[in-house]
Amino acid sequence: MDASNSTHVACPHCAALNRIPSARLAEDPVCGRCGQALLDGRPLALTDADFERVVARTELPVIVDLWAPWCGPCRSMAPAFEQAARELKGRALLVKVDTDANPHTAARFQVRSIPTLLKLQQGREVARLSGAMPAAQIVRWAGV
Query: Residues with Cβ < 8 Å from 79, sequence gap 6 or more?
Result: 135
Minimum distance between the CB of residue 93 and Zn ion, rounded to whole angstroms?
14
Residues for the chain: how many in total?
144
For 67, the 3-state DSSP assignment is: strand
Minimum distance between the CB of residue 50 and Zn ion, rounded to whole angstroms?
12
Task: Tell me whether residue 71 is one of the annotated catalytic residues.
Answer: yes
Nearer to Zn ion, 11 or 114 (CB): 11
What number of other Cβ atoms are within 10 A of residue 51's Cβ? 21
Nearer to Zn ion, 12 or 90 (CB): 12
Nearer to Zn ion, 18 or 116 (CB): 18
Minimum distance between the CB of residue 67 and Zn ion, rounded to whole angstroms?
25
Contacts with Zn ion, residue ranges (CB under 5 A): 11, 13-14, 16, 31, 33-34
Which of 14, 31, 34, 71 is an active site residue?
71
Task: Tell me whether residue 11 is one of the annotated catalytic residues.
Answer: no
Torsion of CA 31, 122, 86, 23, to 10 degrees: -60
Torsion angles phi and psi, residue 24, rounded to 5: -110, 10
Q: Catalytic amino acids?
A: 71, 74
